Amino acid sequence: MTDGLFVAFEGLDGAGTTTQARRAAAFVADETDRSPARSAEPTDGPVGTQIRRCLEGEIEFDPETLALLFAADRLDHLHREIEPRLEAGDVVLVDRYSLSSFAYQRADGVDADWLRTINARARPPDVTVFLDVPPAVCVERITADGRGADRFERVETLEAVDAAYREAIDAEREAGNDVRVVDGTQSENAVADEVTATIERFL
């Protein structure tokens, strides 16, 4: 069986990760001999559901507890969905993965080394695509979409998350993991072209 390909999409809220994951899935389905498998974190599983309730303000967890929930949701996601699809030879496209924890939870004051420890059993993606969009632009997009901001979608918070992402990307590269930075301020089509070109190189 041909090995699958594991691609993670990362970026600030409003950067376009969901849109580009969807477009990449369409590309894989239409232009390759592989099957796409899309998913996202937090998941709709039992742990991810509690995370979503927290992000939407329904319940509250302290930052370290929330970080542990994200790590648990990630392992559940990996074992339940990602690895079986990779074993089947599919192209797995995940909207957010471990780099999000290293950025968002770090910006929430959680220790970086501890974050890496609790996420150590989560296998890295074959390639991570980071959509680089300034925090102010992301907030404009969120506002234009007409949706309310959750606890991580305020400009001051996104500026801290953006800085944490830069540090996390450097650390991932130093660890030998492949992170590609794409200018997310380009047109949607231009971003999609860069993303699909990256995926093609791995197929």
pLDDT, one tens digit per residue, over 17-36 is 999 999 999 999 999 999 99
Domains of the chain, residue spans: 5-202
For the chain, residues with pLDDT lower than 70 are 1-2, 146-153
Answer yes or no: pTM beyond 0.75: yes
Cross-sheet strand order for the sheet of 5-10 = 36-40, 91-95, 5-10, 127-132, 179-183
* H/E element, 181: strand 179-183
Instruction: Give, in words, the CATH class of 5-202.
Output: alpha beta
Q: Residue 170: what pLDDT?
A: 97
CA gap 190, 180 in Å, rounded: 15
Distances (CA, A) of 168 to 8, 87, 97, 99: 14, 28, 12, 7
Q: For the beta carbon of residue 196, count every other beta carbon within 10 angstroms.
A: 18
pLDDT at 1: 44
Cα distance between residue 165 and residue 185, in whole Å: 17
Write down the pLDDT at residue 30. 97
Q: 82 near 39, Cβ under 8 Å?
A: yes
Task: Return the pLDDT at 147.
Answer: 60
Whether 26 contacts 148, CB under 8 Å: no
**Per-residue model confidence (pLDDT) at position 2:** 62
